[in-house]
Amino acid sequence: MLEYISAPEAAQKWGISERRVQKLCEENRIPGVAKFSRLWLIPKDAEKPTDARLKAERKKKHE
């Protein structure tokens, strides 16, 4: 049986904000997430997704 953690727990584990975790869930960037009412359930062993925003910002600086 899979174990899940909440968005606040994932935020603390990954060192990012709870809102950022929620956005990653909404964008389907975390495999295996499930939404139960207003609560996001994230697999306990899920890896933090790479931040795609950083690549775009680096390109802008180099142009």
Place of tokens 């997704």: 49
Q: What are the mean pLDDT values of the chain's consecutive 10-residue runs (63 residues total)?
A: 92 96 95 94 93 64 58
Residue count of the chain: 63
d(CA 61, CA 63): 6
DSSP code of 4?
A: E
Sequence-separated (6 or more) residues with CB below 8 Å from residue 28: none
**In the prediction, which pLDDT does 29 show?**
95
Q: Range of 20's domain?
A: 4-62
Number of folded domains in the chain?
A: 1
d(CA 24, CA 31): 10
24 sits in which H/E element = helix 18-26
